[in-house]
Amino acid sequence: MTELMAPAGNLEKLRWAVAYGADSVYFGLEFGSLRNFADNFTLENAEEGIRYLHTRGKKAYVTLNIYPFSDEYDRLIQTGCLLDDMQADGLIVSDLGLLAALKKKNLKAALHISTQANTTSWQSALAYKDLGASRVNLARELSLRQIKEIQQNLNGHIETEVFIHGALCFSYSGRCAISDYMTGFGANRGQCKHPCRYLYYLVEEKRPGKYMPVLEDNRGLYFFNSKDLALFEYIPALTEAGITAFKIEGRMKSIHYLAATISLYRRILEGQSISAQQALAWLNRVPNRGYTSGFIKGAFLPQDYSWDKSVSAGTSRFAANVIESAAHSCTIRVRNTIRSGQKLEVLQPGKNLFEITLPSPLQTTEGKTVDFAQSESHLLLPIPLPDYTILRQVLQPAD
Ligand code: SF4
């Protein structure tokens, strides 16, 4: 079965990714990865994470995918060697110099080519193989026809992975200078401030400070704002094409996002029959920018942008998650205010959604009774829910 790769911004998220069905987890360190604003892993965290994954039969990949300056190589190579000693299964790189340097070290860890390298041809993929890579990420900018053609020409000589879900850049993935230009924080250094998600106005040069609205509708114009990628309908075709791994984007996303996305794609990979409407309803439970199939259908079209808003709230609010389970009860950590008697939807690994009604009154872990509880309170529920259960308030019924 095709490997399902999930992102993790910290150790807690790594555990959630495993619980919800990831076959492998990729994460970055404080230095060298393209997500400087994720929590990121210390070397100690990385070692613990790799051990956690291996004891559960899962794989660990670590991103070293910045485009480094000359004086940064020694540190990156040393980090790669340390990760190899920790038995990381793969190191994800973008830079040719770093690939060559790590290859010379004869590491046990496989070398994977990051999405940041924008590999759009089988010629390029085979060149990476010759340089020592064992897996290449095929660029998000490819159509299904192009992916199939690449797969045929690679003929199994190098593993391939494809992003099936997550945020999209409006430019060639990550090769974008507007964050550097507008905020001084470089996307290719892992510091993107996401100006493609800002709301824009028009200013005429002789009228500084007079912001003229440019309207797509009455809420404004987010003209760089791509919808989020969701390729659930293409999983059978991509599987048939022989892709090695399906990758989910989002090292900065929440445990709710991880649980919802990983569980959907795990179900699809296991052959459960899920209609497009059901998949969208499932994914819409978490915040998103609207969903698109991106370039895989052949072209990026006007409807693939979300011009009227930069993010939707989703059709549910993350209410709480189970942090300790017992035979007849569980302890939950509240994430958004909840009330006694409230109905909440339950998301659990490998289970269908169902609903519970909270007791009235609620009971705190200190034994107090309360009518409502705010974020970060801990409550004792007389319901035996297992670890990694998410409770959420449905704001709109599923489509
Ligand atoms: S600003 Fe937007 S398009 Fe540019 S790198 Fe950042 S996320 Fe991608």
Q: How far is the CA of 118 from the centre of ligand 1 (A)?
A: 14
Sheet with 378-381: strands ordered across: 354-357, 343-347, 390-394, 316-325, 330-334, 378-381, 362-364, 369-370
Using only C-alpha atoms, the chain has a radius of gyration, in whole angstroms, of 22
Per-residue pLDDT at 381: 97
| Selected residue with higher pLDDT from 308 and 316 | 316
Q: Indicate if the pLDDT at residue 291 is higher than 80.
A: yes
The identity of residue 375, as a single letter, is S
Per-residue pLDDT at 44: 96
Per-residue pLDDT at 396: 67
Q: Indicate if the pLDDT at residue 394 is higher than 80.
A: yes
Per residue in 257-288, pLDDT (tens digit) is 999 999 999 999 999 999 999 999 999 999 99
Cis peptide before 361 (omega within 30 of 0): yes
> What predicted TM-score, i.e. pTM, was given to this entire model?
0.92
Q: What share of the chain is helix, strand, coil (3-state, %, to 5)?
A: 30, 25, 45
Share of the chain above pLDDT 90, in %: 77
Task: Give the number of the atom of ligand 1 that is nearest the alpha carbon of residue 167.
Answer: 7
Q: How far is CA 170 from CA 178, 183, 226, 295, in A?
A: 11, 17, 6, 11
Q: How far is the CA of 137 from the centre of ligand 1 (A)?
A: 18
Q: Indicate if the pLDDT at residue 104 is higher than 60.
A: yes
Task: Give the number of the atom of ligand 1 that is nearest the alpha carbon of residue 187.
Answer: 5
CA triple 300-305-310, angle to 5 deg: 150
The identity of residue 277, as a single letter, is Q
Per-residue pLDDT at 202: 87
In a 3-state reduction of DSSP, which class is residue 288? strand
Of 99-113, 131-145, 197-211, 338-352, minimum mean pLDDT range: 197-211
Per-residue pLDDT at 169: 83
Beta bridge partners of 6: 25
Task: Give the number of the atom of ligand 1 that is nearest the alpha carbon of residue 173.
Answer: 8
66 C-beta closer than 6 A to ligand 1: no
Nearest protein Cα to ligand 1, atom 1: 194
Structure tokens at 227: 């919808």
Residue ranges covered by each domain of the chain: 3-172+225-304, 316-394
Of 68-77, 282-291, 303-312, 313-322, minimum mean pLDDT range: 303-312
Per-residue pLDDT at 244: 98
Q: How far is the CA of 166 from the centre of ligand 1 (A)?
A: 13
Per-residue pLDDT at 194: 85
Nearest protein Cα to ligand 1, atom 8: 169
14 C-beta closer than 6 A to ligand 1: no
| Topology at the third CATH level for domain 3-172+225-304 | TIM Barrel (3.20.20)
Per-residue pLDDT at 118: 92
Share of the chain above pLDDT 70, in %: 94
What is the C-alpha end-to-end distance of the chain, expressed in Å?
A: 30
| CATH superfamily label, 316-394 | Translation factors (2.40.30.10)
34 C-beta closer than 6 A to ligand 1: no
| Selected residue with higher pLDDT from 73 and 173 | 73
